Every structure is written in C-alpha cells, then in structure tokens.
Structure 1
Amino acid sequence: MKFRALILALALAACGQGAQTPAPQAPAANEAPDPFTLNIEIGRYGVMLSHVHALTGDRPGSAEPEVTDPRELARSLRETAWEYNIERSRLCARGLFTEVACGPAFEPVWISEPATAEPTLEELQARSNALGEEVMRFWNAVCEDARSREPDEQAKMYVCAIE
C-alpha cells in the first residue's frame, strides 16, 4: 500500500512539473503552423520576460554596476540601440513614421559584442555619436508630428521637452 502511494505521489509530482513549462511542440509534417497559436506563443515569451524583470528588479544581493565603468557604458549603449530598433519596429508595424521607422535595423558591429568587452572611452564616444545621430533623426520626425497635432501654442513648447 505504501509502495503504491509513493508511486502515485511521484507520478503526480512529475505531472505537476511538466505542467509549469510545457515544451513547445512543432506542428506535424503535414500540418501548417497556426498564426494565432504562434502569436500566443510569442506573446507568452514577452510575458515571461516581463516576469523575469519584475522578479529580479529588487533582488537582494545584486550589485548596482558602476555607471562610469567602460563595460557598463558599452552595455548601456547596446541596450539603447536595441530599444531604438524595437521602437522603430513597433511603429513601422503600425504604419507610422515609415520614412524613419521602416528601414534596416541599426546594427553596428558592437551591438552584439560580449558583456566582457571593455572599449576605450574614445570608442564609446564614437559609438554614442553614431547612435545619437540615428535616435535624433527618429526623435525629430516623431516630435515634429506631435507638435503639429498640438493646438495649444503654449503646450506646443513642451512637446518633446526633455530638460
């Protein structure tokens, strides 16, 4: 009797573990992927990443990186370049600002360098300048449009004010 209970407990535990993270299943060879199912799957990954962010934001024991460290500056530049590409992609998908949003992604060679890379401050400045040119062109197009839609002249002065 105890042996059966032990087997049942192990089987239930195994079932519970598998239910938490179902393995993605490829469609059968004769079955085309379903775009709605694929959309749900992709959305699930986004939710998972949001959870990762929420669960690790205030995690005890994590150290804040030194903002003047070249590795940290390089990481920050890479993240900003990725964010720039993501925002452009989102606007392009919506048919907005196509002239500045729908071109090729900004992919300098340094965007995929390892976290251990430690470029010089001169190299980081050159990277920042290149990224700044891209972002400013995008920013100006979006801000000009936002200003043109603002009827209040006083409020128009504050559209895209960052300082």
Structure 2
Amino acid sequence: MGQDASKTSGDHKYVSIPGMIRHWSGGKFIHPMGGSENPDNDTKLVIHEATHPNMRFRFVQFEGPWGYIEHVASGKVVHPQGGSSDPGNGTALVLHEARHAGALFAFDYENHLIQHRSSKYFHPEGGNVSPPNDTELVLHEDVHDGMRWVVVTVDNVETPLYM
C-alpha cells in the first residue's frame, strides 16, 4: 500500500510559503467548509470566492514531488475522506491531523493539476469550469479544464511552489 509517511513526517525536505489555491477557470479559492481557523477532523474542503487567513495552505514535501498540503492555521492536512491511499472517484477531500501515504499529493504546474498519490486529481464536485461557492472538492481520474488549479500568494499573485 505504500510507505507509512507518519513515521517520518519530521524528515520533510521543503516547506513552501503560505498561500492560497485558486481554481484556474472559476477564480475561487479552496477553503475548509465553514472557514474555521481550527476545523474538526474530516471537515470537507470547498471552493469559495472569499479570502481570509483561514484558507491559507502550504506544501510540506515528503518524498520527491510528493508531500502534504497543510492548512496553515490548524496544521491539518488534506486527505481523501477515509484516508485511503487508493480512493474511488468522487471521494471527498477533507482536512485531518494524521499524516500518512493516503495524504500525499503533488503539484503539476505545467498542466495546473493537483494529483493524489493514487493518480486521481482535485476536482470541484461535478467538474464545472465555474463552480458556485461552497462546491465540495473531490478526487477523480478525469482530466479537463474544470479541474485545474493555480497556487497564489496571499496577495493573489501566481507563484511557483518551489521558491
């Protein structure tokens, strides 16, 4: 099933600056549902047009291109709901405190994709190119314009992950 990342989570190689993750075509940002500073485990991720400090994330490299997408305010990381390292299409994305192989993601800047270790990608539920506020995020294997993302600074300026 893959390496248990929680046993070596202190051995990361790179931590990005805090920023936001913006939906490429729709322009909205990833948030924990409800916008809490310290959301409960299994709080779903949604997209919303508002910007505030509780929707900042950073990338904590673990191995090669793989790492954790960490919610800065709480320290929790993005997971497929249930924590599976091979989740099915449509599995919700949530925040959780545990760090393990099921919570590893990579950014593909050339194609504007966020890929889970299982080869599935971040999608707004339904795959809409301009989803409404509070659309939940899920994992899915399809690749299309409705599931592209860009990392931006807290001032909403596009930035490379590795600086």
The answer to whether the superposition gives a TM-score over 0.5 is no
The one of the two structures with greater contact order (alpha-carbon pairs below 8 A, sep at least 6) is 2
TM-score by length of 1: 0.20
Task: Name whichever structure is richer in helix by fraction.
Answer: 1
Task: Give the greater-gyration-radius structure (CA).
Answer: 1
**Which structure dedicates a bigger proportion of its chain to strand?**
2
